[in-house]
Structure 1
Amino acid sequence: MSVPKEKAHLARTLGLWSTIALVVGGVIGSGIFLKPSLMASQLGSPLLLLFVWILAGVITLFGALSNAEVAAMIPETGGQYIFFKKMYGDFVAFLYGWSAFIVINTAGVASIAYVAGTYAEYYISLPRFSIEVEQAVYLYIPGIGRIYPLVNIGVKLFTIGIVLILTFINYRSTKAGAGLQVLFTLIKVASIMLLIFGIFTIGDGSPNNYVTSAATAPEGWALVLAIVAALSGAFWGYDGWNNITFVAGEIKNPQQNIVKSLLIGLLSCIVIYALIIMAYLFVMDISAIASASFVASDAAQLAMGGIGGALIALLVIFSGIGSTNANIMATARVTFAMAQEKRFFSWTANIHPAFQTPANALALHAIWTCLLVLSGSFDMLTDMLIFVSWLFYGLSAFGVFVLRKKMPDAHRPYKVWGYPFVPATFVIITFFFLILTLANDITNYLTGRAPIINSLFGLLLVVLGTPLYFYFKKKERQ
């Protein structure tokens, strides 16, 4: 049983290595192992594929460094929820916290764990209904589209098992969750390096793959839209870096360790992703990558035979589990912080008396995450959460300017490098990315290429939080 505490504080138990592991483990999950196929089909160019992954990493780093100034200035558990409250007031802060719960964090956990469950089928055959049954049951949302809950039911149940087990571990101990994260991150990074080394040294590759484009490569305005769509996939690959801000109140020496962990962690991810894309291209041309069901396993199998494919499938499972754990450990803290501020259901502010963890918030997140796993597809979940995430990332970076004006004399242990160029560039890029993504989604839905307008669905879930905000405000006054 959890017991409430007035503004109870979680212990500062996370050191630099744990926080770096949280960044790397939170970022390297499913994106690099699944998204390159779709991105290759969109771009049709190997050099553009590599460029988009690096560009997405640099843009993400700009946003992370902008957020780091605020995180070092306000090192409190709750991350961007607390930041938005200082920047824009209660309403925007609540909408972010609600969005983090209803879309960003829970859909992120669902998507990452879903990929781990998908790759488990490399070893075991999971049950599923016939296509007729899968398509017969759906939820229609007027003006938005349809979602199909029974598709890949075996994978979804396996995924739910991953979510529940990892939630149980983090429910019982923050240190156990962090220790597990360090272990998974070390295994993941070491395995990726071995994979890259194996492909380049054992694989029978061709340098021509790096310069040979597909016959259907887009041009002109179509190329611009293709790059925007591909960036969405790459941004998903880098998502999770902000987990570090959610547990700022549990980090030792946060003013230094937050900045160091973001810089070291994201630069490591950019290098690792670039090497992985180059490894894929060494043994597969852009058309082969575009048609691959599981590009990572296919590349490993081409280079090292069947054992290579099996190894990378296992790697993806471990990577997905590690990234799922990082997100579970960090993201429930937003709901916890909102409840402490009486902006969410009060029972989610309870700290477990024995385990000293935000137990009820973790349990609530697990339940909603499992429902998202059942109700959505991988692409729908990732696309809508990236759209909503980047809406708030842009607001957060703009908030650097807001706080410099509102709180000019506040102590800033770290000031964003390249101010004002870095945060301004990030805000401008984010604005155009969101506009073009929305246009792309609507076009794909109207032309029958997608069953749902993912970005609008995400916005709908965000807007549903508005009446809840006024409910909690009224309850607070009473």
Structure 2
Amino acid sequence: LGGRWPKKEGLKMKRVIGLAGGVALVSGTMIGSGIFMSPQFVLAYVGSPGASLVIWALSGAVALFVSLSYTELGTILPDSGGEFIYILRIFGSFPAFFAAVTFILLVKPFSIAASSISMAECALTPFYSGCQPPQLAVKCTAAVAILVVSTLNILNALLTLVVIVVGGMVEVIKSSDVFMENFKVENSFKETRYSVSTLGMAFYQGLWSYVGWNNLNCVTEELKRPEVRFWIAFTSPV
């Protein structure tokens, strides 16, 4: 053979995720507890419908810009792993290992716990009128919710959103006079709170609803033509 042995290639992921799969992955991870919980908090913090819409627009703009930044990172460093790969390439193995352990043991579990506890408090509030639900009941309900969601994944999230949107449209039509009165230019920013703390908390709640745009970078090696899929998949949900 004259020394011409075939070169051994490393293990590679099969590229099976197309455009529809990329958009579904980003949309599926962005649709979560934030969109169900954040609107009431944003409105409660800023105090007016007009200011809450401004907060939502700014949050969407920030999510779009950081998504585009991750798009560039995903095309420059086309490896799966997300933040772990970027920290590994830039800062080295020890910071990357520390970041991975932090995400696995702290960030991801805490975010799931926060989402489930928020859902449990909302679900139990009607049964405890006039007082806060007991913490034991909230934690048990949250644990059951995590098990159910882990089993069913996200199959019922879109149906829930449809019910909320349709129900909201029905209420708007039924009370169209009150709705239009609240959204007149002279009334939309009435009673707005302009303190740094309230605007900061409202902005944080808005950003929470957009969380999930970075998950596509975790499966970069499985994307077909990632230089194209990243741009469309990241910008479509936002």
TM-score normalised by length of structure 2:
0.77
Q: How far 1:262 moved relative to its partner?
A: 0.3
- Superposed counterparts of 1:47-446, under 5 Å: 47-118=50-121, 121=124, 131=134, 134=135, 150=136, 152-166=138-152, 184=156, 187=159, 190-191=162-163, 193-204=165-176, 205-210=178-183, 211-212=187-188, 215=191, 217-219=192-194, 223-266=195-238
Residues 1:186 and 1:96: Cα distance change in structure 2 (over 3 Å): same
Cα RMSD, aligned residues only: 3.1
Amino acid of the residue matched to residue 218 of structure 1? R
How far does residue 189 in structure 1 lie from its aligned partner after superposition? 5.7
Contact 1:14–1:250 (8 Å) recurs in 2: yes
Kindly, what percent of the aligned residue pairs are identical? 25
| 1:39 and 1:49 in contact (8 A); partners too | yes
Deviation at 1:186, TM superposition (A): 5.2
Stretches of 4+ aligned residues off by more than 6 angstroms: 122-125
1:29 aligns with 2:32: yes
Residue pair 1:25, 1:184 contacting (<8 A) in 2 also: no
Residue type matched to 1:231 in 2? F
Offset, 1:40: 2.3
Could you say which residue in structure 2 is the equivalent of 1:13? 16
Going from structure 1 to structure 2, the CA distance change for 1:45 and 1:13 (only over 3 Å counts) comes to same
Letter of the 1:230 partner, please give it.
Answer: A
Q: Structure 2 counterpart of 1:35, which letter? A: S
- Unpaired runs of 5+ in structure 2? 1-9
> Secondary structure of the equivalent of 2:22?
helix
Find the counterpart in structure 2 of residue 345 from structure 1.
Answer: none
Q: Could you say what secondary structure the match of 1:247 adopts?
A: helix
Q: Per the alignment, in what secondary structure is the counterpart of residue 233 of structure 2?
A: helix
Q: Paired residue for 2:44?
A: 41
Would the alpha carbon gap of residues 121 and 253 (structure 1) be closer, same or farther in structure 2, given more than 3 Å must change?
farther
C-alpha spacing 1:114/1:252, structure 2 compared with 1 (3 Å): farther
Give how far 1:70 is off.
Answer: 0.9
**Separation in 1, partners of 2:20, 2:127:** 35
Q: Counterpart of 1:236 in 2: which secondary structure?
A: helix
Task: Report SS of the residue matched to 2:24.
Answer: helix
User: Do the aligned partners of residues 163 and 99 (structure 1) sit closer, same or farther apart at CA in structure 2, a change above 3 Å counting?
Assistant: farther
**Cα distance in structure 2, aligned partners of 1:120 and 1:11:** 42
Change (3 A) 1:156 1:185: closer
Q: CA deviation at 1:16?
A: 1.4
1:52 touches 1:231 (CA, 8 Å); kept in 2?
yes
| Distance in 1 (alpha carbons) for counterparts of 2:161 and 2:43 | 24
Contact 1:78 1:247 survives alignment (8 Å) = yes
Residues 214 and 8 from structure 1, CA distance in 2 versus in 1: closer, same or farther, beyond 3 angstroms?
same
Q: Which structure 1 segments of 5+ residues have no match?
A: 1-6, 135-149, 167-179, 267-478
Asked whether the 8 Å contact 1:81–1:97 carries over to 2, the reply is yes
The number of residues matched between the two structures is 222
